[in-house]
Amino acid sequence: MFREHFGAAMGVLEAPADDGWRRLERPGFLLVAGELGEDPVGFVHVLAIEHEHAHLEQISVLPSHQGRGIGAALVAAARAEARAMGFRRLSLCTFREVPWNGPYYARLGFAEVPESDQAPYEREIRATERRIGLDDVGHRCVMSVALT
């Protein structure tokens, strides 16, 4: 989908992502979508950043299963789990204009966080994104939703 949207300017987006075992090594949680006994069709990875903040690190749904509400269900489950764990805020970094990124998360209740209001960990994530070249692909932003 990103290749179709951005064309040849993919850069860092073509780098392999961490596998589930690697993700489980980091503080937070991993939720998986799919039928019991079948291969997973999607996942959401949320990092525990600090006492009140959680960060949606990645969400992915197989292309063959998109458009069925699985992503929205994963985001809702991530919000519920983060809330149950005592987090007050869930953030994410995303492409502002990509339809299945910024506008999608806005429909799910997330709002863009101005740079001046970003938490230190969000500024650090954005600095890393700039360093690895994500901003060369498209405009990135931080979004968040209150969990209280």
Domain boundaries, the chain: 2-146
pTM assigned to the model:
0.83
pLDDT tens, residue by residue, 26-72: 679 999 998 889 989 999 999 998 779 999 999 999 888 988 999 99
- Residue 21 pLDDT > 60, yes or no? no
| Predicted pLDDT of residue 9 | 55
| Predicted pLDDT of residue 97 | 87
- The DSSP line for 27-45 is SEEEEEES-TTS---EEEE
Q: Which residue matches tokens 């069925």?
A: 68
Mean pLDDT value across the chain: 86
How would CATH label the architecture of 2-146? 3-Layer(aba) Sandwich (3.40)
SS3 of 113-135: CCHHHCCHHHHHHHHHHHHHCHH
| Predicted pLDDT of residue 35 | 84
